[in-house]
Structure 1
């Protein structure tokens, strides 16, 4: 009795017009076996066998616990129970987990394929994790998927602002080896601010400038129809179900290192369910069709994030403070540009300061000339505005007889 995958392949090859001899040669099966399956009115079923002890039995309690915690991805579960000593296969695990999963009603949509280098799909997702003290926190995940090869880029970030979004794009393009001709998004504010009275998108000006300078077109999926960018939606689900449940990380750098390793050793080397090829193999072909990235000088401006100068001359970035040389003004807008191990502070085209990147949360890095020109006071309190009391108005005093004489004169008149 052949396994289900090989039986399915027999019918597929027969439907493609292959001869019995060719199918037998391709699958390594005898021609009589091929004829038996093709002549049968239905797929032959094996006779029921008596139930016997399973290699999975010692691990079923653990699996039930993990499914109750929301982990029902068999690839993740297989990885975890094999670490505990399980020596069985994937099929028996999948058959055990399948009835335990919550049913998800599929939504109909139209599938279309793209050419190499034509499109990438991009999205942000929000994932939860537990801190060492048991609290629940959230972290953003950026996912870009090349539509033809299905190669994936994953990066975790603390902020979902335009500067971070652009930086993640550049990191993804660098990993893929070029820029696709267009990128598809949902109606997120970092891409489109709103729609006008004619339902036309009002683009985020900074992101539009970035797209024009790098050389890709911005495309939006239909509102409330994320299925129109289903590859990246599937990519985020894949990250949530395959990578995220087993992650144990120290900080964001450690998390992103694990994510990059997962992309290289798991996500891009699997045989994709739609293309039936490995994304890493298709990426080698797609790279030839991607556009080259512009020079670093043209892109530097997009690697900077705007921040306001504090009253003490520090600029806050990534939970640390970086000092500026005098003169500076409280509330002044400057740009922060991180590089490998350093943080630069800029004012347009002028670099103001360079600091080593902070290694601790809340660290303050002071510039040697931060307060060099700041006028120091003499220690005396400043003068206060004072109210003024006017002198008392002197009123002429007259004897009482004078008033009586005045009254008598008025009555006589």
Structure 2
């Protein structure tokens, strides 16, 4: 029971103010203040005892007087301008305070200005929510900001590699692989390997807005790269890119990028690799250990949760792995052939199509005209 309710009960039982103060270890002036507020507002004490403690305290506490100060209201109105100015190069809180005092001499001192400015900035920030993830629903995809490298054994040059990271947010099952760049062939190849590593296909792929996945980013209708669309069609899934700008809905993979820094980058920092294959073997070993390590404050590891609750819900993989397709529009020569510059070969078509334009789709194994 709150002290206020104890005070009211003692007062109803006829105890004097001095006896109430001694019993509750508070000052007599505090008891007088509460009883005065109750009497001035003509509040029924029996009704007050029936209220929840926070409601009762809210009735009798008028709040911090600092927040009813005219200076506080003035600073509150200035907040959008001050926050905008603070982002400019070289602008500090001290400079903003000096300008504030010039325009409002009776305003806060520097320490109170900084305190209230910080409090108002926190309260003005938009909040976040906890995202609930369904099993086998989405696969989040990203590249780490930092890079790993291997040594060219012939020249001694350090070859930097991008690190592809993906995770299933329900089980937090993680996958990582080093690739030579973020170009379409390397990105699609890493994603291809990831899906076969998982042994199934989630309902949606959620990449960041990198050019290898999204041709044109947009908050509502992003243009998906054609190769990414081909991969999604091959695996019977969809592509839902993260929102443009600073999205907060892909925090799962961003968190895993940080984990990869700790569990992969840090563990491999003193090792030397002389080809991409050996580097990826070491990465796989570290990621396997991560997936098999019991999670903090959980009774299971990532791999246990993935196998028991998620893997059987993934879509089935097709018989063949996805092959990256290339597109071209070529003119049929008078000799009834089109010339594909990529492999420096000519391919024949029915003679009737000479001098017409042909749509050409080709992979590493096949050419379709």
So what's the TM-score if we normalise by structure 2? 0.51
- Corresponding residue of 1:260: 284
- 1:334 Cα deviation after fit: 9.2
RMSD over aligned Cα atoms: 3.4
Counterpart among 174, 178, 185 of residue 163 in structure 1? 185
- 1:184 Cα deviation after fit: 1.6
- Corresponding residue of 2:236: 215
1:41-76 CA-partner distances (Å, limit 9, x unpaired): xxxxxxxxxxxxxxxxxxxxxxxxxxxxxxxxxxxx
Over 3 Å counting, the alpha-carbon distance change for 1:210 and 1:146 in structure 2 is same
Q: State how 1:143-182 maps to structure 2 within 5 Å.
A: 143-182=165-204
Aligned residues: 216
Q: State how 1:58-69 maps to structure 2 within 5 Å.
A: none
Q: 1:143·1:155 contact (CA, 8 Å) conserved in 2?
A: yes
Separation (CA, whole Å) in 2 of partners of 1:147 and 1:276: 17
1:175-207 CA-partner distances (Å, limit 9, x unpaired): 1110111122221112211146x8521121221
Separation (CA, whole Å) in 1 of partners of 2:260 and 2:197: 18
Separation (CA, whole Å) in 1 of partners of 2:220 and 2:366: 37
1:341-387 CA-partner distances (Å, limit 9, x unpaired): xxxxx45159xxxxxxxxxxxxxxxxxxxxxxxxxxxxxxxxxxxxx
Q: 2:163·2:177 contact (CA, 8 Å) conserved in 1?
A: yes
Over 3 Å counting, the alpha-carbon distance change for 1:327 and 1:186 in structure 2 is closer
Separation (CA, whole Å) in 1 of partners of 2:168 and 2:176: 12
Larger mean CA deviation between 166-175 and 270-279 belongs to: 270-279
The 3-state SS of whatever aligns with 2:147 is strand
- Corresponding residue of 2:315: 291
Larger Rg: 1
Query: Is 1:142 matched up with 2:164?
Result: yes
Over 3 Å counting, the alpha-carbon distance change for 1:336 and 1:254 in structure 2 is farther
- Corresponding residue of 1:24: none
1:298-335 CA-partner distances (Å, limit 9, x unpaired): x4433x6789xxxxx9x99xxxxxxx69769xxxx996
1:122-175 CA-partner distances (Å, limit 9, x unpaired): 112241447488865421111110111111111111021222222222211111
Counterpart among 117, 120, 141 of residue 122 in structure 1? 141
- Corresponding residue of 2:257: 236
- What 5-or-longer segments of structure 2 have no aligned partner? 1-125, 329-338, 348-359
Separation (CA, whole Å) in 1 of partners of 2:346 and 2:222: 42
The 3-state SS of whatever aligns with 1:227 is coil
Over 3 Å counting, the alpha-carbon distance change for 1:253 and 1:130 in structure 2 is closer
> Per residue, is there more helix in 1 or in 2?
2
